[in-house]
Amino acid sequence: MAGRVAGKVALVSGAASGLGKATAERLAEEGAAVAIGDIRLEPAEAAAAAIRAQGGRAIALKLDVTQEADWVAAVAEAETRFGKLDVLVNNAGTADGHWIHKLSLAEWRRVHAINLDGVFLGLKYGAEAMKRAGGGSIVNISSVAGLVGIAEGATAYCASKGGVTMLTKAAALEMALLKTGVRVNSVHPGYMRTPMLEAVIEAYRDPAEARARLEAAEPLGRFGEPRDIANAVLYLASDESAFVTGAQMVVDGGFYAR
């Protein structure tokens, strides 16, 4: 199949839903074979089947990003099924909704285990596979909340996403220094129309007011669509971005420009 990532093999974490699902679809449209990793296997299988129905190549993998053994198995499965790994999108994430005075240490750790430890483990095992393939591209999904503070119960989320921002830069420099051929970049979505954002909005006492306020916080006046992120990831996954590493690509309707 021809396309901007033709011949490449990609693993996308958290790809049963939202931004990860759109990214897996977009990469497959442009010719990549895609492994859809998610803690929820059933919707991951459905996402893979939908890609296959469109003529793409996709498999589903049970992957809890907090579990080291799951990463070892997922990377091995992608290599076994498709021969190598060229692209890893560390997308799986969770949002917390607790103000500091109500945020337990257990909840703080849960958010960091998924949003930050999960990215570290993906980087570690994904990069090893890419070294075997002669290089590759790792894209970490951070957030605008990894660049600026957000009030209203997002402290653990901001801290974990800020960690992803800096982990990306340090890893990019290390991969370059070691001449691995592996590039590492981060993508920073603004408010995107996904099940995660819907859950955040519904958790407000007045969801209609919250929806209008969050939408108004976007200078372009609307929430982003999952495909907006998928297109950014596609560029970073492809050889079009061969000289791009350690970069933070902000895709946020202008939120961070204020």
Ligand X SMILES: NC(=O)c1ccc[n+]([C@@H]2O[C@H](COP(=O)([O-])OP(=O)(O)OC[C@H]3O[C@@H](n4cnc5c(N)ncnc54)[C@H](O)[C@@H]3O)[C@@H](O)[C@H]2O)c1
Q: Rule CB under 6 A: which residues touch ligand X?
A: 13-14, 16-20, 38-40, 63-66, 91-94, 114, 141, 143, 189, 191-192, 194-197
**Using an 8 Å Cβ cutoff, are 10 and 33 in contact?**
yes
User: H or E segment at 34?
Assistant: strand 33-38
Closer by beta carbon to ligand X, 1 or else 196: 196
Q: How far is it, in rounded angstroms, from Cα 66 to Cα 40?
A: 14
Smallest separation, CB 223 to ligand X (Å): 7
Smallest separation, CB 195 to ligand X (Å): 4
Smallest separation, CB 18 to ligand X (Å): 2
Give the residue from 143, 135, 164, 111 showing the smallest Cα distance to 251: 143
Smallest separation, CB 35 to ligand X (Å): 13
Closer by beta carbon to ligand X, 91 or else 245: 91
Closer by beta carbon to ligand X, 165 or else 180: 165
Alpha helices (H) along the chain: 18-29, 41-53, 68-82, 105-112, 118-133, 155-177, 195-202, 207-216, 226-237
Smallest separation, CB 43 to ligand X (Å): 7
**Using an 8 Å Cβ cutoff, are 113 and 157 in contact?**
no
Q: How far is it, in rounded angstroms, from Cα 115 to Cα 33?
A: 25
Closer by beta carbon to ligand X, 6 or else 166: 166
Q: What angle do CA 120, 134, 142 make, to 5 degrees?
A: 30
Smallest separation, CB 96 to ligand X (Å): 10
How many Cβ atoms from other residues are within 10 Å of residue 134's Cβ?
A: 11
- Sign (positive/negative) of CA torsion 65, 55, 238, 257? negative
**Is the backbone of residue 146 left (phi > 0), alpha (psi -120 to 50) or beta?**
alpha
Which amino acid makes up residue 43?
P
Catalytic one among 125, 157, 191, 235?
157
Q: Is 256 a catalytic residue?
A: no
Closer by beta carbon to ligand X, 9 or else 19: 19
Closer by beta carbon to ligand X, 14 or else 56: 14
Active site amino acids? 157
